[in-house]
Amino acid sequence: MKKYILRRLAQFIPLIFGMTLISFLIINLAPGDYFTQLKMNPEISPQTIEEMRKSFGLDKHPIIQYFYWIKNVLKFNLGESFAYHVPVSFLIKQKLKNTISLSIFSLLLTWLISIPLGIYAATKEGKWQEKILSFLAYIGISIPSFLIAMLLVFFSAKTMVFPIGGTTSIFSPDATSWEKFIDYIRHLLLPGIALTLSGIGSLYRLMKNNFLEALESPYIITAYAKGLPKLKVFYKHALRNSINPMITIFGYELSGILSGAALVEIITNWPGMGRLILDAVLSQDIYLVMASLLIGGILLVVGNLLSDILIAFADPRIRLR
Partner 1 sequence: MNNLLKKLKKANKFSFFSFWILFLLYIGAFLADFISPYPYDCQYRQYSLCPPTKIHFIDKNGKFHLRPFIYGIKVINPYFNEYEIDYSKIYPIRFFVKVPERKIFGRIKFGICLFRVEDEGKIFLFGTDIHGRDIFSRILYGARISLSIGIIGVCISFLLGLLIGGISGYFGGKLDTFLMRIVEIIMVFPGFYLMLALRASFPLNLSSIEIYLLIVVILSFIGWASLARIIRGMVLSIKEEEYILASRALGLSSFRIIIRHILPNTFSYSITALTLSIPGYILGESALSILGLGIQEPYPSWGNMLSSAIGNLKILTTAPWMLIPGFFIFLTIICFNFLGDGLRTVFDPKNW
> Closest approach of Cβ 230 to partner 1, in Å?
29
Q: Is 142 in the site for partner 1 (CB under 8 A)?
A: yes
Query: Site mask, partner 1, residues 1-40, x = CB under 8 A?
Result: -------------xxx-xx--xx--xx-xxx---------
Q: How far is the CB of 37 from partner 1 (least distance, A)?
A: 12
Q: Which of 70, 73, 164, 228 binds partner 1 (CB under 8 A)?
A: 164
Q: Considering the rule CB under 8 A, would residue 302 count as an interface residue with partner 1?
A: no
By CB under 8 A, what part of segment 254-283 binds partner 1?
255-256, 258-260, 262-263, 266-267, 269, 277-278, 281-282
Nearer to partner 1, 192 or 260 (CB): 260
Q: Pick between residue 4 and residue 146 the one whose CB is nearest to partner 1.
A: 146
CB 63 within 8 A of CB 266: no
Nearer Cβ to partner 1, position 34 or 234? 34
Contact residues: partner 1, CB under 8 A? 14-16, 18-19, 22-23, 26-27, 29-31, 138-139, 141-144, 146-147, 150-151, 153-154, 157-158, 164, 255-256, 258-260, 262-263, 266-267, 269, 277-278, 281-282, 284, 289, 292-293, 296-297, 300
